[in-house]
C-alpha cells in the first residue's frame, strides 16, 4: 500500500458526504477534507505535527450535522498538500492560514487545533483575533508549558531516524497502548517514514504579555494521562489565560487526541461554541 492509498483509507472514516477540496495558495496547493452544511458555522480543524486531516475523522462524525468542518493539511507536512515554498516559521504558517481563509471567502471562523496545530491556532488568533470567533486547543504544545524531557528522548529518534517499528513503539508508549484506528496509524507511520518532510518549524511559547492580551474565548482540553508534558501544569497554567475554560480528560494521552474520546470533546466543543 502506498501513502496515498493509506491516506484514502483513513480519510474514508470521515462521515458520509465528506468531500476533498484543493485550494491554490502561494505556498502551494492546499488539500482539505470538508463536511457539514455549507451555511453552518465554520470550524477549522488544524492537525498536529506529523499528522494529517484524517486525524479528525471521529470528531467530524460527532460534529458534521451542526457545523461546516474544514480540515486543511499543512504545506510541508505529511498529507496531500503541495509545498511550493515550505513554511519555515510559525509566522509563515499563520500567513498560509490567512491566505487560505481569504481564498475560501471566510470572514469569521472557529479554530480548533491539536498539539502543534493548537499552537498555530493560538498564533493566528493573536495575530488577528477579530477574525477568530473561538479557540479550542487540544493538549496544546509550546503554549503554556514545554515538552517533558522523557517525551523528547522518546520522540527524537522517530523524528531524526524514523523507522516503521520505531514510530509504532513510540505511539504505543505515549498512548499507554490504547488502541488507535489501524488505518490512521498506518498513514501516520508511512508519512513519517516514506515521505520527504519539509523544514522543521520550531514552535516557541508566546510571551506572557501576549497571552495576557488574548481576547478570544478559549477552551483547553488537557490529556490527563499524556506523556508529552505535565498535564497538571498545563491545566493549571491554562486556567490563568483570560476567558479560558479547561477540561481534563483523565484517560486521554497526547496522541490519542483527537482520535479517541471524540464524544466528550464534541460535547465540550459544542458547549464552548454556544457560549
**For each of the chain's 275 residues, which pLDDT tens digit applies?**
899 999 999 999 999 999 999 999 999 999 999 999 999 999 999 999 999 999 999 999 999 999 999 999 999 899 999 988 889 999 999 999 999 999 999 989 999 999 999 999 999 999 987 899 999 999 999 999 999 999 999 998 877 889 999 999 999 999 999 999 999 999 999 999 998 877 778 888 998 888 988 999 999 999 999 999 999 999 999 999 999 999 999 999 999 999 999 999 999 999 999 98
CA angle 211, 140, 199 (to 5 degrees): 100
Q: How far apart are CA 159 and CA 239, in angstroms?
A: 31
C-alpha cell at 194: 516514506
CB 136 within 8 A of CB 125: no
Q: Are strands 68-72 and 28-35 parallel, antiparallel or unpaired?
A: antiparallel
CATH number given to 3-274:
3.40.50.1820
CB 56 within 8 A of CB 33: yes
Q: What is the pLDDT of residue 117?
A: 97
Domain ranges of the chain: 3-274
Give the number of other CB atoms < 10 A from CB of residue 119: 26
Q: Which residues pair with 248 in a beta bridge?
A: 222
Select from 92, 109, 74, 96 the least CA-distant residue to 197. 74
Give the number of other CB atoms < 10 A from CB of residue 14: 24
Amino acid at each position: 500500500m502506498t501513502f496515498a492509498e493509506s491516506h484514502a483509507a483513513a480519510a474514508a472514516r470521515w462521515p458520509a458526504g465528506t468531500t476533498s477540496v484543493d485550494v491554490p495558495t502561494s505556498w502551494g496547493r492546499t488539500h482539505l477534507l470538508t463536511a457539514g452544511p455549507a451555511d453552518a458555522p465554520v470550524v477549522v480543524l488544524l492537525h498536529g505535527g506529523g499528522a494529517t486531516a484524517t486525524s479528525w475523522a471521529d470528531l467530524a462524525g460527532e460534529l458534521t450535522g451542526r457545523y461546516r468542518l474544514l480540515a486543511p493539511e499543512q504545506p510541508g507536512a505529511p498529507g496531500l498538500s503541495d509545498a511550493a515554498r515550505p513554511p519555515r516559521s510559525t509566522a509563515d504558517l499563520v500567513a498560509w492560514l490567512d491566505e487560505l481563509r481569504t481564498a475560501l471567502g471566510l470572514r469569521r471562523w472557529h479554530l480548533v487545533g491539536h498539539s502543534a496545530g493548537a499552537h498555530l491556532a493560538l498564533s493566528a488568533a493573536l495575530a488577528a483575533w477579530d477574525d477568530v470567533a473561538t479557540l479550542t486547543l487540544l493538549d496544546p504544545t509550546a503554549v503554556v508549558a514545554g515538552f517533558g524531557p522523557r517525551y523528547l528522548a522518546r520522540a527524537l529518534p522517530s523524528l531524526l531516524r524514523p523507522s516503521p517499528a520505531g514510530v509504532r513503539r513510540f505511539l504505543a508508549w505515549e498512548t499507554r497502548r490504547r488502541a488507535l484506528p489501524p488505518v490512521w496509524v498506518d498513514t501516520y507511520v508511512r508519512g513519517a517514514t516514506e515521505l520527504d518532510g519539509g523544514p522543521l518549524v520550531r514552535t516557541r511559547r508566546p510571551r506572557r504579555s501576549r497571552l495576557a492580551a488574548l481576547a478570544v474565548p478559549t477552551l483547553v482540553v488537557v490529556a490527563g494521562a499524556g506523556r508529552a508534558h505535565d498535564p497538571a501544569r498545563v491545566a493549571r497554567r491554562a486556567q490563568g489565560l483570560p476567558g479560558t475554560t479547561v477540561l481534563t480528560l483523565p484517560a486521554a494521552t497526547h496522541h490519542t487526541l483527537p482520535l479517541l474520546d471524540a464524544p466528550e470533546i464534541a460535547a465540550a466543543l459544542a458547549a464552548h461554541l454556544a457560549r
